Amino acid sequence: MGALVESGDVTWYIHKFGRELQTSGSGFKGRRLQPLKAALLLTSLLQFSSALPPNRSDCDHIRAGGGAMATMYLLAQLEFLCRVKGRYLDKDGTIKRTMPQQLRKKAGLQSNQRHVNQIHKAFIVYMYRNTTALGKRLRTLETKLGIAKRLQTIRNPVMHGELPDPAVEGKFFGLLLAMFYYSGLKQHETNA
């Protein structure tokens, strides 16, 4: 977490995903689409700023620092998708149907709690007994990588400014968003 070494394939994939992102189903439509495309492209076009001279162009400044802002946006969009794609939460995180006690305990929710406002908790709620192909893949990754713990650890430092440059996490968030997008596309095409 906070560092990424890659051969370029991840950057290429996120750039391709950002370029081909189009309206499809819940969570990827309307005014949400263009900012999401821009955030993905900023994440993929990231240039680290420490080695560049101060007299660089405005575009160079945007490429050097834009990934940090894009990462915060991608994190928020990922939380939104965990809410709207799941069966227990509304888009604002309000619990819309009775949750089993086992799920409440697993997600760290109080028995009287009516709202989920942490991404790791929304992620756990989304995955609970989710039999979709995406749910199964995310459970496998959760077992191997501990995604919920990673989201819990990174959320506050990213969203509250403690982490000075969260841009590297943007690639991780971009890959997770791609999983939601492409699984929804497949489902959208099946229903059409």
57 versus 102: which is more confidently predicted? Answer: 102
Residue 115 pLDDT: 96
Give the amino acid at 62: I
Per-residue pLDDT band at 23 (split at 50, 70, 90): confident
Torsion on CA atoms 133, 135, 137, 141, rounded to nearest 10: 180
Per-residue model confidence as pLDDT tens digits over 50-69: 566 677 788 887 887 888 88
CA distance 68 to 158: 9
Residue 65 pLDDT: 82
Per cent of the chain over pLDDT 90 is 59
3 state DSSP class of 142? helix
* Residue 123, C-beta contacts closer than 8 angstroms, at least 6 positions apart: 82, 138, 147, 148, 151
Say whether pLDDT at 93 is over 50.
Answer: yes
Average pLDDT over residues 151-166: 86
Range of 11-15, 62-66, 120-124, 158-162 with top mean pLDDT = 120-124
Least confident stretch, 3-12, 37-46, 125-134, 152-161: 3-12
Residue 170 near residue 67, CB atoms below 8 Å? yes
* Residue 148, C-beta contacts closer than 8 angstroms, at least 6 positions apart: 120, 123, 124, 142
DSSP state of 166: T
Sorted by where each begins, the domain ranges of the chain are: 9-191
User: What single string gives the DSSP state of each residue in 23-80?
Assistant: --STTS-GGGHHHHHHHHHHHHT---STTS-TT--HHHHHHHHHHHHHHHHHHHHHHH
Give the amino acid at 165: D
Average pLDDT over residues 18-37: 84
Per-residue pLDDT band at 88 (split at 50, 70, 90): very high
| pTM of structure | 0.87
Residue 164 in tokens: 């000075």
